[in-house]
Structure 1
Amino acid sequence: MKIVILGAGQVGASVAEALVHEANDITIVDNDRERLAALQDRLDLRTVCGNAALPSILGDAGLDDADLLIAVTQSDQTNLVACKIAKSRFNVPTRIARLRAADFLEDEQLLSDENFAVDFAICPEENITDYIVRLVDFPEALQVLEFAEGRLVMVAVRAYEGGALVGKPVRKLREHLPSQVDARIAALFRQDQPIIPEGETVIHAGDEVFIIAASEHIRPVLRELRRMMRPVKRVMIAGGGNIGYRVATALQQRLEVKLVEHNRSRAEWIAPRLGDTLVLCGDATDEDLLEQENIAEMDLFLALTNDDEDNIMAASLAKRLGCQRVLALINRRAYADMVQGGPIDIGISPAQVSIGTLLAHVRRADVSQVHSLRRGAAEALELVAHGDRNSSRVVGRSLGEIPLPKGVTIAAIVRDLETPEIIGYQGPVGIQAYGHVVIAHRDTVIQSGDHVIVFCVNKKLVHKVEKLFQVGFGFL
């Protein structure tokens, strides 16, 4: 596939890195020559320096025969103009734009082919906000991922010394669960090395365990792997930028939220808009300020400024002063790898969080969802199976028959996603959810239309998985 990416910032560079290893022809456009040179030194791609909103620059980038345009510059206006030009001048089949302003995101007519011609819009700040809110709901988790419109949840946790399954084989998990609850350990990482979990694989303390279950079952399953932390009630946020403001807005009605913003004019702007949040003007790396605001009584500290160093310093300080759990937004992957698991419980890469929704529109098979895991090293995909036993290598076959590449695990299936089923009762009233969850075992048979959750311990395996799920010519 020939892909043109506009913008060589964190998102653009991460997308290029994710796609360049999959036999794609990548061209990236930016007006920063040094940034382009650095990318070209480490990735096999072509670069064009210039203004991404100019037809001449887009022509130089090869848009006249491109299959896909991904416009992820820092400017909404540039991204919109580029998509419009790509449609009207170069007739590019698919156009994706990064947009921040709600005015654009909320007006579908404005993005239609007759106007700015955006096929799909992504908002990284919105994706990151949703991601952080899920972590607040599961304070013991390192990652929380949803599939099949929330019907399935995959959670990454650190196995702790003394946990019910530590020192025991993976097959023992089912013995610890109620008869009506099923789950699967999709992957293990031990000292950053992937281990494909089989029945006799023994879980060690400190292992990073990815476990998947129906949304209503995930909490009892987690209790078997580690201590459940007390629910989060008090949160302190460092940074009142787009992400900090969005997170405070999402949490303030159900939690006690304090937000620290160093810029006085910004603090004065957000304070009246966050009626249930205490907004403080100050520096989140100020030890006296944190102590005055009772940081030791906070359940969670979120460092969400635009500066990696400030986030690392503020989160580390909050942890030292007694905050139970701290999270930092870290753009540089080297920083995230260095600090997570030390003084900082969770380091989040904004680019890796946000590119998942974008990758779902790039994959060759019918992909509904992509989650980038372990800072881009692994991926979890939700693929829709099509065809029959004659036209597909997966449909009509049990998992034991499917030739999965080494390092690939089929973790679960959601069947009949449009059909409601009762998953529990609240008094006499039944609680409904759409789709039937099937936790994958060796004898599980995939049917056409199934949403199949696949875990790849190495993102280089994704291309093989896509080919496996593609329908042959025999399918009518």
Structure 2
Amino acid sequence: MRIVIAGAGEMGFHLAKLLTAEEQDIVIIDSNSTVLEYVSQHLDVNTVRGSSTSPRVLKEANIGKADLLIAVTSIQETNITTCILGKSLGAKKTIARISNVELLHSREELNLSNVGIDEIISPASLAAREIKRLLKQSALTDTFEFEKGVLSLVGITIDEDSELFGKTLTETAYLNPDHSFTTVAILRDDKTIIPYGENKFQNGDHAYFIAQPDGIDRVTALAGKESFEIKNLMILGASKVGINTAKLLSKKYNIKLIEADKEKCLHLVDELPDTMIINGDGRDINLLKEESIDRMDAFVALTENSETNIMASLLAKNQGVRKTIALVENVDYIHLSQSIGIDTLINKKLIAASFIFRYIRKGEVLNIAGIHGVDAEILEFELGEKSKIMQKPLKDMDFPKTAIVGGVIRKGKGIAVQGNFEFETKDRVVVLSKPECIRKVESFFK
């Protein structure tokens, strides 16, 4: 598949990284030669210097033979123009990154495909949906449901109070007698580990499991965590993500939104009628106390400044808020949540890049999900009559070591998978795989 990416920022770079791991033919366009040099040094891609709104530059990228054009520069108008030009020059499919969420709500009315834009994505809207998902399971750092929850991916932090701490996977088998969960990944010191029998849980690990419904409660208990109901939510920052999050969640939670810009607060009163708008500095501990930070169940910091979000979340944590989420612009910060005490750090560019990756692959797999900071993807396959993985028990298959089968959905029921498991037609199989072996993993399910 030939893919042209316009924009070599963090979002474009991360997307290219995911796609090059699958040996896709990638061309990246950017006007910044320094950025392109960095891309060339780290990824096996072709680069073209110039503006993606230039027909000459698009032709230099051989746009006429592109199966897909993805415009993800930081400027909405550039992305829209790039897709319109690219489509007219022969690109089969186009995706544009937008900043105005109003376009999302009007997409059918506008019929953007008529002008050459097949799909639009809003990082702010996607980040808001991600926050909604993260707040659903209060004790967990991450969660994703398959088939309405008969199997779920759950993430949780391991500390010295956990029964799992200091034990290998083999040694913890007695804690999981009915096999209601499977450990599929461990994130440790910026490194993703696909764990097997002798891997040991350490203090500060972010551990990820595929679990049946009762397995979620067991994992939570073993990690020494306690689920709690979230009713009161404080949001810091009326950024695009902050406003979208308040709109999405105001019917479910009691929300207070703190914003430093007084004029913006006045506009938000009408835009967010179900949200209490407070003008002030969210880093001011006295203001937080005045606004009853000690009564908040969750605190979400969504200003445009990463350091402000991190500091405010730490203040909230120090005041007893049990669930904290902070938006960060710098991708390198993502892994800090392991060590500094914030429950989850998110980056809207990574969320959007992973969404595009899933969009590209959705014809080949039933479901695909990313995990914050983890160098792996969760995939869901349905087995056909000739699927290779049905030929032998799992332990006798040459399944990649950088991937792991987390569970199976059979006739609407979630099932844990052991080495002697035998697959059947119509089974839906959930797999965690590092990007570089996704193609090999897929070969077992064709």
Same fold? TM cut 0.5: yes
Note closer, same or farther for the CA distance 1:274–1:47 as it changes in structure 2 (3 Å cut): same
AA at the equivalent of 2:407: A
> Do the aligned residues in 2 keep the contact of 1:10 with 1:331 (CA within 8 Å)?
no
Distance 1:149 1:57 in 2: 46
Deviations 1:23-53 (A, max 9, x none): 2232112334443343334333233333323
Q: Counterparts of 1:292 and 1:182 in 2: how far apart (Å)?
A: 44
Residues of 2 paired with 1:368 and 1:120: CA distance?
Answer: 19
The corresponding residue for 1:145 is 144
1:237 shift after superposition = 1.0
**Cα deviations across residues 263-282 of structure 1 (Å, max 9, x unaligned)?**
22222111222222211112
- The one of 335, 345, 348 aligned to 1:347: 345
- What is the CA–CA distance in structure 1 between the aligned matches of 2:28 and 2:309, rounded to whole Å? 29
Q: 1:405 Cα shift?
A: 0.9
Q: Kindly tell me: are residues 387 and 365 of structure 1, through their superposed partners in 2, closer, same or farther at Cα, counting changes over 3 Å?
A: farther
- Partner SS for 2:209: strand
Query: Partner of 1:437 in structure 2?
Result: 414
Contact conserved, 1:128 with 1:353, CA < 8 A, in 2? yes
- Range 398-407 or range 183-192, more displaced: 183-192
C-alpha separation in 2, matches of 1:124 and 1:151: 29
For residue 261 of structure 1, report the CA deviation from its aligned partner.
Answer: 1.1
1:405-416 counterparts in 2 under 5 A? Answer: 405-415=400-410
Match of 1:453 in 2: 430
Counterpart code for 2:155: A
Deviation at 1:9, TM superposition (A): 2.7
Aligned to 1:233: 231
What is residue 399 of structure 1 aligned with on the other side? 394
Q: Deviations over 1:68-91 (max 9, x none)?
A: 21122334443334333333321x
| AA in 1 matched with 2:263 | S
SS in structure 1 at match of 2:268: helix
Q: Structure 2: any 5+ residue segments left out of the alignment?
A: none
Three-state SS of the structure 2 residue aligned to 1:172 is: helix
Q: Counterpart in 2 of 1:8?
A: 8
1:462 corresponds to 2:435: no
SS at match of 2:140: coil
Q: Which runs of 4+ in 1 moved over 6 A?
A: none
Change (3 A) 1:356 1:66: same
Partner of 2:59: 59
Q: Which runs of 5+ in 1 are unaligned?
A: 417-434, 472-476
Distance in 1, matches of 2:151 and 2:355, equals 17
Equivalent residue runs for 1:299-378 within 5 Å: 299-363=297-361, 366-378=364-376
Counterparts of 1:116 and 1:449 in 2: how far apart (Å)? 40
For residues 143-184 of structure 1, give each alpha carbon's deviation from its aligned partner in whole angstroms, at most 9, with x where no partner exists. Answer: 112334655321110134344554663322433x6xxx8332
Name the CA distance, whole Å, in 2 between partners of 1:111 and 1:383: 32
1:363/1:466 contact within 8 Å kept: no
User: SS in structure 2 opposite 1:285?
Assistant: coil
Residues 284-312 of structure 1 show CA distances to partners (whole Å, capped at 9, x for unaligned) of: 22233222223233222211111212212
Give 1 or 2: higher helix fraction.
Answer: 2
The alpha-carbon distance between structure 1 residues 452 and 24, as it changes in their structure 2 partners (threshold 3 A), is same
Partner of 2:247: 249
The CA deviation string for residues 175-205 of structure 1, in whole angstroms up to 9 with x for no partner, is: 3x6xxx8332223345555554446766455
Contact 2:189 2:335 (8 Å CA) reproduced: no
1:95/1:444 Cα in 2 relative to 1: closer, same or farther (>3 Å)?
farther
2:160 alignment counterpart: 161
- Identity score, percent: 31
Which structure is higher in RCO with an 8 Å CA cutoff and minimum separation 6?
Answer: 2
Aligned counterpart, 2:265: 267
Give the CA RMSD over aligned residues. 2.9
SS at match of 1:328: strand
Matched residue, 2:172: 170
Contact 1:170 1:198 in 2 (8 A): no
Task: Please report how far the alpha carbon of residue 235 of structure 1 lies from its aligned counterpart in structure 2 after TM superposition.
Answer: 1.7
- 1:283 aligns with 281
Aligned mates of 1:370, 1:6 — CA distance in 2: 24
Alpha-carbon distance in structure 2 between the residues aligned to 1:438 and 1:15: 32
Distance 2:254 2:362 in 1: 44
Normalised by the length of structure 1, the TM-score is: 0.82
Please tell me whether the aligned partners of residues 236 and 302 of structure 2 are also in contact (alpha carbons under 8 angstroms). Answer: yes
Amino acid at match of 1:10: E
Please name the residue that 1:383 is paired with.
381
Using the TM superposition, name which of 245-254 and 378-387 deviates more: 378-387
